[in-house]
Amino acid sequence: MSSQQHSLKPFNTFNLDAFAKNLVVATTPEMLCTAWQESQRLQQPALLIGEGSNILFLQDFQGTAIVNRIEGIVVKEGAEAWHLHVGAGENWHRLVTYTLENALPGLENMAMIPGCTGSAPIQNIGAYGVELKDVCEYVDVMHLATGKIERLTAQACEFGYRDSIFKHRYQHGYAIVAVGLILNKKWQPILSYGDLNQLAPETVTPRQVFDAVCEMRRSKLPDPAETGNAGSFFKNPVITAEQAKVIAEVWPDAPRYPQADGGVKLAAGWLIDRCDLKGYAVGGAAVHQRQALVLINKDRATSDDIVALAHEVRQRVGEKFNVWLEPEVRFIGAKGEQDAVGVIA
């Protein structure tokens, strides 16, 4: 029996048995700020959680877990675009569904990405050719020591591939409380990835794109409600053009996506699959049978099982391709976030 009091199992999609000393479910920015300031007063660590869809608890958390449940969607119409102000605690997929039901297309490629809206800018979430940065207008971030809310433009967020200023300068002592989205009224379908390229761009509707994305995700990805997982466990690696050329000569079928900066993005799932790791297990953790990029809690896995599995996957891919994968998932220790690469290296 853990000495910690509050179960974090409902707040992590890996469904791991982890506990926190204190737990606060914050429905307003003020509640969130008060809980953080109280943890500071007690000299205890504080951890901000959305839906826990991108975290791996390595140990019980020795402080206050603050769950962001700030909700609300406000829509304003402009001449050329719709402007949405969304509470950070809103479920992302429910937001995508809401926009389609209200004829506000533009988010459909990012359907079924798990997590809260407030987590979206941190990772610069993306899928099927669209990233949050493509639709983000601003992010409202609270300085927790003062309670002051600052509005950052999308440009100020320094969005990169699964990266943003919220992983760096605004990582500690700040909380995202709302996200502003801009959806162009002249909707242009993005059909460059996966089975979407089979849809006809002249006649396709936002709902058809949404349905196709949902179908692709359901066919490949396990439902966290049934099988614990945190979605894509590793980032798709971006390598140099020279490295990509070497890989293409040996594996001409390797998916390659040229980037604006001259690098080339590879598909981490393809690399893992070519190491024959689908279904590979360590303890209760396993590589998913249908999507190698997803590590699952197959049978009462511990965090140690998942870490050992991630280490093995990283080693095998590194030895075969000389490409070293980095986790997309955040690793949370007893006192806060740890360097994920350092943990699995």
> Any idea which residues carry the catalytic annotation?
162, 232, 328
> Residue 174: which of 146, 212, 194 has the closest Cα?
146
Using CA atoms, how far apart are residues 35 and 100, in angstroms rounded to an integer?
35
- DSSP line for 223-241: -TTTSEEEEE-BPPPEE-H
- Residue 211, number of CB atoms within 10 A of its CB: 14
> Residue 142: which of 167, 166, 115 has the closest Cα?
166
Where does 227-297 show beta strands of DSSP type E? 228-232, 238-239, 256-258, 264-266, 281-282, 285-287, 294-297
- Residue 6, number of CB atoms within 10 A of its CB: 18
Q: Number of helices (H) and strands (E) in the chain: give both, helices first.
A: 8, 21
Local structure of 101: helix, strand or coil: helix
With DSSP H G I counted as helix, E B as strand and the rest as coil, what are the percentages for the chain, rounded to 5?
30, 30, 40
Q: How many CA atoms lie within 13 A of 256 on its CB side?
A: 19
> Residue 217: which of 304, 312, 148, 114 has the closest Cα?
114
Residues 6+ positions from 297 with CB-CB distance below 8 Å: 14, 15, 16, 227, 228, 229, 284, 285, 306
Q: How far from 135 is each of 180, 209, 227, 282, CA to CA, in Å?
A: 9, 17, 31, 39
Please give the biggest Cα pair distance in the chain: 60
Using CA atoms, how far apart are residues 301 and 306, in angstroms rounded to an integer?
7
CA-atom Rg of the chain in angstroms: 20
